[in-house]
Chain A
Amino acid sequence: MTATADKPAAEAVETVTLTIDGTEVTVPKGTLIIRAAEQIGIEIPRFCDHPALKPAGACRQCLVDVASPGPDGNLRAFPKPQASCTMTVTNGMVVNTQHTSEEADRAQKGVMELLLINHPLDCPVCDKGGECPLQNQAMSHGRPESRFVDVKRVFEKPLALSSEILLDRERCVLCQRCTRFSKEIAGDAFIDLQNRGAQQQIGTFDEDVLDFDGYRPVGAAAEDEAGKAFSSYYSGNTVQICPVGALTSAAYRFRSRPFDLVSSPAISEHDSSGSAIRIDHRRGKILRRLADNDPVVNEDWITDKDRFAFAWQNLDDRLARPLVRKDGELVEVSWPEALAAAAAGIRAATAEPEEGDARTAGVLVGGRVTLEDAYAYAKLARTVLGTNDVDSRARAASDEEQAFLGSAVAGTGMGVTFGDLEKAPTVLMVGFEPEDEGGVVFLRLRKSLGRQQVLTVAPFLSRGAEKLAATLVPTAPGQEAAALSGLADDAREALSQPGAVIVLGERVAESAGGFTAAQELAAATGARLAWIPRRAGERGAVEAGALPGLLPGGRAASSKAARAAVAEAWGVDSLPEKPGRDTAGILAAAAAGEIGALVVGGVSASDLAADVPAALDAVDFVVSLEVRRSDIASRADVVLPVAPPSEKSGTFVNWEGRLRSFATAIRTDAMSDHRVLDLLARELGAALGTGTVEAVNSELAALGAAGTGERAAAPKAKAAKPAKPAKGQAALATWHQLVDEGALQAGEPYLAGTGRVAVARLSQATADALGVARTVTVASERGAIELPAVVTDMVDGVIWLPLKSPGSWVARDLGASAGATVSVKGAE
């Protein structure tokens, strides 16, 4: 037996051998002719065909001559040319494309001529000009002159499908890629074909186009629940796959010619998926971002946030030079002056006083920084500032979460992957909204629609979960642990199937006992656990040890052996032993006057429930590392500008644990956080060794993962008792919408326009009990939020608010996170 024959049967792929243009090719059974041809470098022109979409056979551009053996074994030619994008290969098939068949060539030229009769000759002003499949294929397969002398069909233009997506109908070749993407991939069927014949057009539901001839449609079909016509988080993909210039984005329309752009590969900074993107820029300015194909991560797609949210880094408040507070005002100074001022300030604020203990320093790192940056913050805290008070979780966090991350996530390498999620027979989601918090994770799950059972532990079935045909495990916020322990038998059984996955979102940290219960459930059922945080830098920060209880590689800061190992690698005598505090703890200590100096990078104060301004005011000295003049930067004593991801190189570790390294797309003199921290440490008299990405990565490689006895123990936390809201109160449920007012979405009004309208959700019973009708006011001791109320089929006694949407900044305005009890009343 050969080695190949030993492989399990499941891996054997049945193949088919055929001949295309005289070249024999062997491909898996079921392959389309057009794909088989691609494999031997024969390109057949096409428009409607897209490898990620189901075959349509609509444009007829890919017609080829086909002959296949009949039952008697003799070759029989098909009487007509066949669409190579819809026909699968068979053994012995003989295909002749435009290169070897006059008939195929004539058919393709004929279709091309027909495609162009109604297509405007506006290539010189069309955004697609220069990268247009129609333009290119008209050049390679079309007639040099048009024979069409009649009247072209025209439409009003452009039609705004949403604030972001514009449609020029007269350019459309009706390939239906956009509608097929919307239906098959995103599940947002807000656009479709309307009318027929040459008047057929893509659009949102339009009574005028459909011509109801006196009849009226029933119900509000024209709008989705948010009152938007084409409100999809993935709508930008339709622009990218449009083979002509029919779909354009408001942000890029008429801004540039593709041949004037420089394209750089990059990784999206917007979520923990680490989607591959392409940044197109011109003279140092980003003009657009596109999805790059990465078969193992984002495949062909990205979210609209990945695509459109890049204006934030070039807004007017972008920091170009360091700032130092002089006489109460922040003024621009040179780097040496700023670094010296920062070092002096930190030294003074943490100096040994004449009596009592010295005040310490703390480090707050947002979840947006790269692995290398997080490492530098963590190392600075422990070796230079002598504290474990460092935390990258600028959100609700818990010690239980830290124990979970330390015992099961950090330093474990690649765990559950996108591919595993797709193949999983059952996926249980806890504290995780796939569409809002997962981005392309949602698309992967949706790919398995019908083959996968999805369960979601949530207060209600969100639209994203509904599109996954998920089963709701109705759970009040904070009660996730109880929901997991009390999971029904059939759900447990489903999770016992090989390959089942339990997805834990970052919001599980808001629910006492959640991680413990999830680990128990995983152990009992054999399901694998995947932690999918929201921000791009979260996993990297966990790996780098930018958490109070974690050292690099998953080592527990509480472990003497771990501390000794890391101290040795870092060339210091010892690491601080005193347990560190998390973000909330650090801010509380700061407010209490225990902390003298804070180093803050990449944190938005408005993301935190704590009273950040009060804490910052109580601290003697604040150093802020920021791209823009943020709410924290404006309260800092020294502000050190750092580079946004497009202007630096580094690594995001995505939720899978996959290293997503990226190079500098746009060269500027902006420095990465890790380099700025290295300079700052030098001023403080220490060598941090984080001057370059290479230096950090070689240190990380040398450190490796935690050894035996160096890890934290698995979490053992008790489930929270169910809250009993008093009269006029409800338990708060909240999470981020994908498109909201997050800091990295600033300056992009077209994208913001596609976001879902902020509403408060509550059940009918809750609304009745609280006397809520149209509008609701949700209040805490800090403040109040007023939003339109939407009665939703959901858990009673709970009110849901979007976490940071227009008019609903929950952390800042209520100072509360999920599970908190808030007072609710109706308003007129």
Chain B
Amino acid sequence: MTELVPVLSATWADEKSWSLDTYTAAGGYAPLKKALGMAPGDLIQAVKDSGLRGRGGAGFPTGMKWGFLPPDDGGPRYLVVNADESEPGTCKDIPTMMSAPHALVEGVIITSFAIGCNHAFIYLRGEVVHVYRRLLQAVREAYEAGHLGKNIHGSGFDLDVTVHAGAGAYICGEETALLDSLEGRRGQPRLKPPFPAVAGLYARPTVVNNVESVASVPSIVDKGVEWFTAMGTERSKGMGLFSLSGHVTRPGQYEAPLGITLRELLELAGGIREGHELKFWTPGGSSTPIFTQDHLDTPLDYESVGAAGSMLGTRALQLFDDTTCVVRAVTRWTEFYKHESCGKCTPCREGTYWLTQILKRIEKGQGTQADIQQLLDTCDSIAGRSFCALGDGATSSIISSVKLFREEYEAHVEQGGCPFDHAASALFEYADAPEEAHA
């Protein structure tokens, strides 16, 4: 049985967990002092050796990303933290910044020191105003404590941190769209190359890292590479936040070593909603192909999930029990992608527009058998054809659900409507809820 390893979440239950005092009392900012005594190159090497992989979804080795920066040419280089968490189901960065913003701030300082950055940016999803306030306060406290500013703790290292709130667009989680948005432009993905490491923010070398990746850095510095590599599986090292949501008894954040299985997590979370069985789930948010009961024992690491036909993504485990209509769930996700498509490229812009209409028709029982094939054909015209990965993500749940639950799609067509009782799947009093909740 895999045990939980609260690292980032260690202080979340403490009194005023977001304050500098609480964080410092729990040993916070000691890693910073240790890091400032190290050579930046050694820090990069340590993160490389730790095997830490990007926690934003793609899983690219963090240390390697840092190593891509060209040699110092005297000009500025930037660290940009991607805190634009907006994927349906994904809810790990927001609680991290809400409950322990200093973990991120400390990570930002150590990372900036390692890569030679004197001005770091945290690009936060604009809707989470309360998190924005927490972050601003944490940054202010860090300045007051001398963790930020000029000549930090006598090291000669200067760092300023700017917290920027976006305007609420899923696409701005794509790193180059994020950079454009941060520069004050319309948030749409940039043509690559040049990659951000070469020409990122303001056309300068830039590292873009996820909140959880950056927040994990202090623990690696503090407890050492071996401590980190002792957790996880062969190529997916360390711990990660697993966000359980949906038809589960105790939804929430479960910080565990990578490679834990859903069966183990469900045990920790009290199992699926009482009286019901797991029907399907997403391993890493709505843009990853869905899994079923067959995958309860798939180790949740990058390789195993990939081998099973999905992606570890952001470890956003949305669980759906047997009361859930898969067509309905997939339609809601697709509506999200239609709404969030930035519009830059044809496949994503037009494809999600079309998919939504077909899915809505099928859901209402107005579809045809040909529509099911049309769904797959349209997905085929989007996946692998769009400018950025958003288009691919939009098709994942459709393709996988048709593959796994084709008969349910067909049932909608044959019965001329949805065979499920929507009230049964609701986690609230369906009848009393406002009309929007019935959507």
Task: State the A residues within 8 Å of B (CB).
Answer: 55-61, 63, 79-81, 86, 106-107, 110-111, 113-115, 117-118, 147-148, 150-151, 153, 173-174, 192-193, 195-200
Instruction: Find out whether the CB atom of A198 lies under 8 angstroms from the CB atom of B338.
Output: yes
CB of B361 within 8 Å of the partner chain:
yes
CA distance A57 to B380 in the complex (A): 19
Query: Which residues in B have their C-beta under 8 angstroms from that of A107?
Result: 381, 384-385
3 A-B pairs closest in CB distance: A200-B343, A110-B381, A150-B357
Instruction: Find out whether the CB atom of B347 lies under 8 angstroms from the CB atom of A110.
Output: yes
Instruction: Find out whether the CB atom of A198 lies under 8 angstroms from the CB atom of B353.
Output: yes
Instruction: Find out whether the CB atom of B386 lies under 8 angstroms from the CB atom of A60.
Output: yes
Query: Which residues in A have their C-beta under 8 angstroms from that of B381?
Result: 107, 110-111, 113-114
Minimum C-beta distance from A64 to chain B (A) = 12
Residue of B nearest to A200 (CB): B343
CB of B303 within 8 Å of the partner chain:
no
Residue in contact with B351 in the complex, picked from A114, A193, A199, CB distance below 8 Å: A114
CA distance A107 to B391 in the complex (A): 14
Minimum C-beta distance from A138 to chain B (A) = 13
Task: State the B residues within 8 Å of A (CB).
Answer: 169, 171, 186, 188, 191, 338-347, 349-354, 357-358, 361, 374, 377-378, 380-382, 384-387
**Given A60-B346, A86-B191, A106-B380, 12 extra CB contacts under 8 A:** A60-B386, A81-B384, A81-B385, A110-B347, A110-B385, A111-B346, A114-B378, A115-B346, A148-B354, A196-B341, A196-B343, A198-B350
Residue of B nearest to A176 (CB): B344
Instruction: Find out whether the CB atom of B353 lies under 8 angstroms from the CB atom of A173.
Output: no
Instruction: Find out whether the CB atom of A197 lies under 8 angstroms from the CB atom of B347.
Output: no
Residue in contact with A198 in the complex, picked from B191, B343, B380, CB distance below 8 Å: B343
Instruction: Find out whether the CB atom of B341 lies under 8 angstroms from the CB atom of A118.
Output: no
Query: Which residues in B have their C-beta under 8 angstroms from that of A58?
Result: 344-346, 387
* Best-surrounded residue of B344, B347, B358, B386 (most CB of chain A within 10 A): B344
Minimum C-beta distance from B100 to chain A (A) = 31
Query: Which residues in B have their C-beta under 8 angstroms from that of A151?
Result: 357
With A57-B345, A59-B346, A117-B354: A197-B338 Cβ-Cβ less than 8 Å: yes
Instruction: Find out whether the CB atom of B387 lies under 8 angstroms from the CB atom of A197.
Output: no
With A114-B346, A118-B350, A196-B341: A147-B387 Cβ-Cβ less than 8 Å: no
User: What secondary structure prevails in chain A residues at the interface with B?
Assistant: loop
Instruction: Find out whether the CB atom of A114 lies under 8 angstroms from the CB atom of B347.
Output: yes
Instruction: Find out whether the CB atom of B387 lies under 8 angstroms from the CB atom of A150.
Output: no
Minimum C-beta distance from B187 to chain A (A) = 9
CA distance A61 to B378 in the complex (A): 15
CA distance A151 to B361 in the complex (A): 11
Residue in contact with B385 in the complex, picked from A111, A117, A173, CB distance below 8 Å: A111
Instruction: Find out whether the CB atom of A197 lies under 8 angstroms from the CB atom of B345.
Output: no
Minimum C-beta distance from A112 to chain B (A) = 9
Residue of B nearest to A192 (CB): B186
CA distance A196 to B336 in the complex (A): 12
Residue of A nearest to B384 (CB): A80
Query: Which residues in B have their C-beta under 8 angstroms from that of A118?
Result: 350, 353
Query: Which residues in B have their C-beta under 8 angstroms from that of A200?
Result: 342-343, 349
With A58-B346, A61-B346: A196-B340 Cβ-Cβ less than 8 Å: yes
Query: Which residues in A have their C-beta under 8 angstroms from that of B188?
Result: 193
Residue in contact with A57 in the complex, picked from B169, B191, B338, CB distance below 8 Å: B191
Residue of A nearest to B170 (CB): A196
Residue of A nearest to B187 (CB): A196
Residue of B nearest to A195 (CB): B343
Query: Which residues in B have their C-beta under 8 angstroms from that of A114?
Result: 346-347, 350-351, 354, 378, 381-382
Query: Which residues in B have their C-beta under 8 angstroms from that of A80?
Result: 384-385
Query: Which residues in B have their C-beta under 8 angstroms from that of A192?
Result: 186
CA distance A198 to B186 in the complex (A): 16
Minimum C-beta distance from A81 to chain B (A) = 7
Instruction: Find out whether the CB atom of A197 lies under 8 angstroms from the CB atom of B342.
Output: yes
Minimum C-beta distance from A243 to chain B (A) = 12
CA distance A397 to B381 in the complex (A): 65
Instruction: Find out whether the CB atom of B345 lies under 8 angstroms from the CB atom of A115.
Output: no
CA distance A114 to B188 in the complex (A): 20
Minimum C-beta distance from B75 to chain A (A) = 17
With A114-B350, A115-B350, A117-B350: A60-B384 Cβ-Cβ less than 8 Å: no
Instruction: Find out whether the CB atom of B349 lies under 8 angstroms from the CB atom of A197.
Output: yes
Query: Which residues in A have their C-beta under 8 angstroms from that of B171?
Result: 196
Minimum C-beta distance from A727 to chain B (A) = 47
CA distance A15 to B343 in the complex (A): 36
* Best-surrounded residue of B346, B347, B386 (most CB of chain A within 10 A): B346
Query: Which residues in B have their C-beta under 8 angstroms from that of A117?
Result: 350, 353-354
CA distance A80 to B381 in the complex (A): 12
* Best-surrounded residue of B169, B347, B352 (most CB of chain A within 10 A): B347
CA distance A786 to B108 in the complex (A): 61
CA distance A107 to B383 in the complex (A): 10
With A58-B344, A58-B387, A59-B345: A193-B186 Cβ-Cβ less than 8 Å: yes
Instruction: Find out whether the CB atom of B346 lies under 8 angstroms from the CB atom of A150.
Output: no
CA distance A114 to B343 in the complex (A): 13
Query: Which residues in B have their C-beta under 8 angstroms from that of A61?
Result: 346
Residue in contact with B169 in the complex, picked from A79, A115, A196, A199, CB distance below 8 Å: A196
Query: Which residues in B have their C-beta under 8 angstroms from that of A113?
Result: 381
Residue of A nearest to B370 (CB): A147
CA distance A106 to B186 in the complex (A): 31
CA distance A811 to B174 in the complex (A): 58
